[in-house]
Chain A
Amino acid sequence: MRLPILASLTLCLSTPAFAAPTLADWQQTLDAARGQTVYWNAWGGDQRTNAFIEWVNSQTEQLYGVKVEQVKLTDTAEAVTRVISEKAAGETEQGSVDLIWINGPNFLAMKEQGLLHGPFVADLPNAKFLDLSATSPASVDFTTPVDGMESPWRLAKFVFSYDSARVSDLPETMAGFTDWAAAHPGRLTHPNPANFIGATFLKQALIELAPDAAALQLPVTDASFATQTAPLWAWYDALRPNLWRGGEAFPENESVQQQMLNDGEVDIAMAFDPASTAAAIAQGSLPETARVFTPKAGSIGNISFVAIPFNAAHKAGAQVVANFLLDPATQAHMQDITVLGSFSVLDPAKLDVPAQATFDALPTAPALPTLDSLGPTLLEPHASWMTKLTEAWAKRYTR
């Protein structure tokens, strides 16, 4: 049944990486996908994302006869573990995970262990709207080359949010957080670094404080780790006593921290989604006066991807969904603040005029920053830094 797709894939492997797929190949994928249900494993802690995935389901079912069923995860690693268990049990054909919202260390882990299907990105007709040059954000995930093994779907940028009615003297640099916390003891915290956002907070500081930020783009070594993180630990040791609960306890994730900002337990929250503050206001879960800020030197940005496990039962359907996510209309819908508010991953230079107009016509909100106002986008360090950083943090501060 999946023979034609396999054939087309082998064909792809033997041809140059970004050869344009022929229309006939895609038609075969569409035919194979019709009637399939794609189990999309995605973190389920964000209600807007969940609603967006439901919308994707209604669209792809109507357009291509492909249903999308979200498997809500509390942590993306759950899906990785599931694929590993399946591999361990010899399940190589009918795996339960069809599509994973993934990036960074989870992607690196799956890619290194050969748990991914692909390369498939270049086969997607809508890949033509992407900038797939070797160094573009869509081609590199935490410095790991994507190699067509995962397809981009939303842009993320690290931001802080605060209540402008309560706070005005915001820190302008990561180094400035120490003074700010000393002036407002107990009013700052960050998610547990075991969580993605908590780790990003540390990485954001690391990029600013490291003696040689370029070293972070290479895989970590013990020597480079010691050199580059020394100023970070000095900074954190000064910061920690003034954190919420004296730095002894940390919120589980960014949603819990946002709730704490809403409850007034802390003054600053953080997220990987510049639109989350505006959306939270609309839903009543942050005060009207909440706003977003980033350090002057910019903040970490990355792209979220979708990947297909090697043993996915519905690979064709998964590719159809990945392609649908790259459709300019889908990306514009996603960027709508009333929907998701995630910035588009498409290359504006490659969009035609009507598509560009759709983006320009999107509604705006007082708490919604423009991409320009957020400053430069800093590159994610190599994924190995994040793993090592969280481990070192746990060793230093877990008693």
Chain B
Amino acid sequence: MTWRAQTQPSRPAPHGRILRRAVLWVVLLGLVLPILAGSFETLRAAFGLHPGIGATRFGLAPWQSLAALPGFVTALRLTLFTGIGSAVLALLLATGFCALMHGRVSTRQGDHMLTPILAVPHAAIAIGLAFLIAPSGWIARLIAPLAGWTIPPEIASVNDSYGLALLLGLIVKELPFLLLVILAALSQLPVNQQLSAGRALGYGRGIVWIKVIMPQVWPLIRLPVLVVQAYALSVVDMAVILGPSNPPTLAVAVTRWFANPDVQMILPASAGAVLIALLTLAATLLWLLAERVVRAIGLWWLRRGGRGLSMQPGLLLTAGLAAAALALGLLSLLALLIWSVTHRWSFPHPLPESWSWQTWHAASWAEAASYSLLLGCTTTLIATTLAIAWLEAEDRSASPRAGWATALIYLPLLLPQIAFLYGLNLLFLRIGLSGGLVAVIWGHSLFVFPYVMIALSDPWRALDPALIRSAASLGAGPNRRLFAVKLPVLLAPILTAAAIGFAVSIAQYLPTLFLGAGRIATLTTEAVTLSSSADRRIVGTYASLQAALPFAAYALALALPRLIFRNRRALLGGHA
């Protein structure tokens, strides 16, 4: 860094400025503008302006009818409970698990363990989990012979009116993501030295973790936690499958109102979508407030100097719960895989009574899979190229990323999808884009780009500046430095970021549905649609494929660098 500051004083190189501006404009026009425009359309409808359905009176009427809808208050309470509860608990479990397991598993082993759950779309995990914990589910079928059940017990273990099953589902799905970002953050900190220093001073392992390591990790994972929070407040597919039904959570209710035969319901639905956005904002502020409070209390707690050996049971408990949640996730996947080759499997049999490959033969999954593949590859290519351009532009103009730029990148992930997708579709219709591949690719890129940026930013910055310095001193210009040095050295993390982007694209449900006018049928839209048929065998087939594609992408991201650099051991580095 010091060298760069000497050779490139405050004035950025002109070509650096051009690249930076170009990338910024692409992001502004391609990602931010559609989202703002879409949000604007939704906002207008929320205040009574939707000329298409004859609504032209500006006012609060949509909000009044929203509040008057049956079950509104319960739906609101459910949304807050499951949304905020799941984010807090998932973070707690992830912290406890990392505190106990860090150093015992390598980052790479961690990645391998987590990717299957990470790669599978939410809907698939939810369907598997619902089968696992239902009163007639797999767990009950295993207990049935011992308990002497001939019919399932009457327990509300899914779709319970408190939303506990949904809470569990969200934790199972978000925990691996949080573990992964914590592991990535840890790789940037001198954890081992600090741990040994702490332990030498007589602190318990877990307490060093909480008192010393976690405060350093938090700033690095704050945004991902907020992404999880935003997702949990606006999730639709998981909430339909696991959540309460009468009333459902607010996001589900809003989706239903959007699809009501009475088109005037679009107005309160829009108000509901805006409300979800406001809730997300409020929850974000709550987290930031909590950060301050914890900082104050934490400081006092630190200075008290407790060695925290009594904390050990609590840590074991959270880590145990985290392990259980991971196990539930993996079992859900296994259940889906088994169902996909089942002919008949009725209660209380612990395993299928008859097997069949029929759904693999019959289901028309090939077309859906090729759409998924096409969308995944295209959007990943676009997003990865854009991300590399952005990072390279940052390098060339030698300025760190501004806070507002980070906010721009995260915008699509922090805003609830439902708040802008309906409006965005109206917009795309007006410019004649809706219903086509282009619109869907565009829609996917909105969400793929942020994830690729998140995954690639840290490894990019961690690149040894000495390499660039040597290249420059050998006379390599900026382009040659990029193509001959940076890209090859960073190949492994670039491919990993691309694999993450691919997985994100595969999992997109609402953007594909809204912007594709339903014509672009991917594995995910088919799986969610078919989940309304409740035929677990077919859903199992689609969900297995949903998991298999991203899984293959991860495997490729791991294998390619090893193949290309098989005689360049140093280039394989420590990156997974």
Contacts and interface: CB of A to CB of B under 8 A. Distances in A.
Q: State yes or no: do A and B come from one complex.
A: yes
B387 interface: no
Interface string A253-270: 101101110111100000
A34 interface: no
B106 interface: no
Interface string A78-100: 11111011111111000011000
B258 interface: yes
Interface string A91-111: 100001100000001101100
A339 interface: no
A248 B71 contact: no
B147 to A, nearest CB: 14
B70 A284 contact: no
Given A45-B532, A398-B246, 13 more contacts: A39-B519, A44-B533, A84-B263, A88-B429, A96-B435, A96-B518, A106-B261, A109-B262, A248-B161, A250-B245, A255-B532, A259-B534, A285-B537
Interface of B: 50-53, 70-71, 74, 134-136, 150-152, 154, 156, 159-161, 240, 244-247, 256, 258-263, 266, 342-344, 346-348, 354, 356, 362-364, 425-426, 429-430, 432, 434-435, 517-519, 521, 525-526, 528-530, 532-538
Interface residues of A, number: 65
Given A89-B430, A96-B434, A252-B240, A192 B246 contact: yes
B70 A394 contact: yes
B246 A397 contact: yes
Given A71-B518, A248-B246, A284 B532 contact: no
A238 to B, nearest CB: 19
A30 B455 CA distance: 54
Contacts of A51: 362
A316 B203 CA distance: 79
B534 A90 contact: no
Decide if the interface of chain B is mainly helix, strand, loop or mixed: loop
A345 B260 CA distance: 28
Nearest to A284: B344
Contacts of B519: 39, 69, 71, 96
Given A88-B51, A192-B246, A80 B518 contact: no
A91 B430 CA distance: 8
A200 to B, nearest CB: 15
- Which 5 A-B pairs give the minimum distances between C-beta atoms? A88-B52, A263-B136, A89-B429, A398-B71, A284-B344
B266 A264 contact: no
A47 B535 contact: yes
Nearest to A247: B246
A78 B518 contact: yes
A225 to B, nearest CB: 16
Contacts of B245: 192, 249-252
A80 B364 contact: no
B453 to A, nearest CB: 31
Contacts of A259: 534-536
A399 B537 CA distance: 35
A74 B346 contact: no
A45 B530 contact: yes
A376 interface: no
Contacts of A109: 261-263
Contact of B70 (A90, A97, A105, A398): A398
Contact of B134 (A78, A97, A263): A263
A94 to B, nearest CB: 8
Contacts of B534: 253, 255-256, 258-259
Contacts of B246: 192, 248-250, 397-398
A78 B154 CA distance: 34
Given A69-B519, A81-B258, A252-B240, A91 B535 contact: no
A75 B134 CA distance: 25
Contacts of B354: 284
Contact of A87 (B52, B356, B517, B535): B52
B161 A249 contact: yes
A118 B426 CA distance: 26
A398 B159 contact: no
25 contacts: A47-B530, A51-B362, A69-B519, A71-B518, A72-B525, A74-B528, A77-B260, A81-B266, A84-B263, A89-B434, A96-B435, A105-B261, A186-B154, A245-B154, A248-B156, A249-B156, A249-B245, A251-B245, A263-B134, A263-B136, A263-B346, A264-B151, A264-B348, A284-B354, A398-B71
A192 B526 CA distance: 22
A294 to B, nearest CB: 23
B153 to A, nearest CB: 10
B430 A90 contact: yes
B119 to A, nearest CB: 24
Nearest to B263: A84
A215 interface: no
A81 B429 CA distance: 13
A9 interface: no
A264 B74 contact: no
B435 A77 contact: no
A72 B535 contact: no
Nearest to A46: B533
Given A255-B533, A265-B152, A394-B71, A82 B161 contact: no
A217 interface: no
